[in-house]
Amino acid sequence: MPSQPAVLAEAADALWRAAQTGHFIPPLRATYPGLDAADAYAIQRMNTERKLAEGRRVVGCKIGLTARAVQAQLGVDQPDFGVLFDDMSFGDAEPIPMQRLHQPKVEAEIAFVLGRDLGMANPGHADVINAVDHVLPAIEIVGSRIAGWDIRFVDTVADNASSGAFVLGGSPRLLREIDLRLCGMVMNRRGEPVSVGAGAACLGHPINAVVWLARTMAALGQPLRAGDLVLSGALGPMVAAAPGDVFETHINGLGSVKAVFEAAATAKESQ
């Protein structure tokens, strides 16, 4: 049974304040027992509308919980999604202000940029493949407004799938130029490997994740459109980021991308 609108609005307000102040909050599942997935997405939409009202622009979506082990940990059997905004984007090796972030962690991903709409009722794999214009290496910087990353499914969904920022590589590739399932990934922090993986870690194939998102968004009446960016999910374990860190991700066949975090110790700490 859906929660009362006033409860959802209160939860959305709590997340909004946490993002503005850096005073992170207890898990929503504890403060508001009974929240379900529909409630969590409703909370996410409330804060999406606030951001749009502030003048921010939606540029695509991110897919989370694409690793089977993480799904099992959170007690779910499917991914989740969040919204990407224009001000989340950083270029390869562009300095990232730590004060913009919330308990940041980094993940290596494959980014898809669509060249065609996916407005059909039930997009399939061929539809998605035909719609993709190019792919890029990416580093997603996830964040949480929940204190200590104490999250379960409703917590992360309501918190825009624990989104923060992202960095895109600058050398696009065509799908036919790379086997996304087999491509290996290594992420280094100051030259030391900290995460390894491959395309198969993302629902067996990153295309599978994009198909899931395309079908989900079509069913919601918000189909993916030409020009949309899709972050398809982590290829390996996420790693905590600290001021002054430099992460470089190399994905075989796709190239490299670097995330550079400003050294000033201004990161918002959990209270």
Secondary structure in 3-state letters for the chain: CCCCHHHHHHHHHHHHHHHHHCCCECCHHHHCCCCCHHHHHHHHHHHHHHHHHCCCCEEEEEEECCCHHHHHHHCCCCCEEEEEEHHHEEECCCEECHHHCECCEEEEEEEEEECCCCCCCCCCHHHHHHHEEEEEEEEEEECCCEHHHCCCHHHHHHCHHHCCEEEECCCCECHHHCCCCCCEEEEEECCEEEEEEEHHHCCCCHHHHHHHHHHHHHHCCCCCCCCCEEEEEECCCCEECCCCCEEEEEECCCEEEEEEECCCCCCECCC
Yes or no: domain 5-261 corresponds to CATH 3.20.20.70: no
Question: pLDDT value at position 265?
Answer: 53
pLDDT in tens, 101-122: 999 999 999 999 999 999 999 9
Domain boundaries, the chain: 5-261
Q: Is the pLDDT of residue 1 over 70?
A: no
pTM of the entire predicted model: 0.94
Q: What is the mean pLDDT of residues 136-164?
A: 97
